[in-house]
Structure 1
């Protein structure tokens, strides 16, 4: 299926920052309430420019369609999923998965096993409000670790039960940033990447444990 939009990729689109080292000294935890939390580490991923270039060239991106009410519509992003045993497209992404598994093992109790990738070509691409509640994420505390590569985009969060008065939050995810949603976050909160008037290309890599979607 031909891609409906052309995107020019230039590493100069992205603000330069310190190279990450896959360490966790600078990570900040934000307690959301109801047992949910978010960890954020800025500039965490090393070689982010090279990872971006490699993913553009080597990831087998696909366009999907879905039913919405009485019609079939294009999913507003490109996607690719790496399952257990699949080689990730860049060695830094494999090292990131191993570092995350080691760091969060005391809390998560298991390693990250899969990697879902999303490609936001411009500001029109987005993700609607949702929680990763298929599989064990529907009933158990779990984690989803997101690495952002490319142009900055906001990841918004809001409580699933908005009657409790909690406000919608937003974290701007920049080039090489890490955001981890943990605890009850997938059950008690929703997250989204809203459309914006203008944005350059951006990708996200979402690491998940087994049977969390």
Structure 2
């Protein structure tokens, strides 16, 4: 299942270590939405990518698209709040995020969804995480990226400019406030040679 990853020249270690969240950088997006960013939050991220790619029970899904059933262009895995995460560092990341954002979020991050983008042909279309409470309440979704960088795009639901961020090799982005209701995000296909990437999305209970 594992695809070849060109490792980062700036993270040549197999020791998995989370940095401090005190260095997060907040960018207001408008309409009550914001993103926090922290490049390289996880050191040793390439080693984690290799283990997750090889050991997570990835599943391929098919979905109805108009008159056809099509393959979902990425592999998926989901860990509910009572399930053990596939690596201890992900549990530490979830708990660290919950502690850091406790005052704003008011509840812990409880679930983890994993997406495996095998190459530039894999993608996710424009969407917001609006299943459950995210449709009507402000919430947070924290994404830890390991593997090769891919672009994450964000745009206002009602129209406007697109925000682009390149995420990989242990980078963290947190989408907060009204982001899931008033903005959409996507990982587009890439015509450039794109290495494999795994994103880990931490969410509170009742948000998908």
Other structure's SS at 2:206 match: coil
**Residues 132-211 of structure 1: matches in 2 within 5 Å?**
132-162=129-159, 166-197=160-191, 198-211=193-206
5+ long unaligned stretches in structure 1: 1-5
Other structure's SS at 1:17 match: coil
Q: Report if aligned partners of 1:65, 1:75 keep a CA contact under 8 Å in 2.
A: yes
Name the counterpart of 1:3.
none
Distance 2:161 2:11 in 1: 30
Q: TM-score, normalised by structure 1?
A: 0.92
Name the counterpart of 1:212.
207
Residue-by-residue CA offset, 1:98-136 (whole Å, 9 max, x unaligned) = 000000010000000000000000000000000001100
Q: TM-score, normalised by structure 2?
A: 0.94
Name the counterpart of 1:92.
89
Q: Report if aligned partners of 1:54, 1:89 keep a CA contact under 8 Å in 2.
A: no
5+ long unaligned stretches in structure 2: none
Residue-by-residue CA offset, 1:18-72 (whole Å, 9 max, x unaligned) = 8753311221000000100000000001331221121012100000000000000
Residue-by-residue CA offset, 1:162-204 (whole Å, 9 max, x unaligned) = 1xxx311111112100000000000000000000012010000
Query: Which of 28, 36, 41 is matched with 2:25 structurally?
Result: 28
Q: Report if aligned partners of 1:24, 1:41 keep a CA contact under 8 Å in 2.
A: yes
Question: For the aligned residues, what is the CA RMSD?
Answer: 1.5
Question: Which 4+ runs in 1 deviate beyond 6 A?
Answer: none
Name the counterpart of 1:105.
102
Q: Report if aligned partners of 2:144, 2:171 keep a CA contact under 8 Å in 1.
A: yes
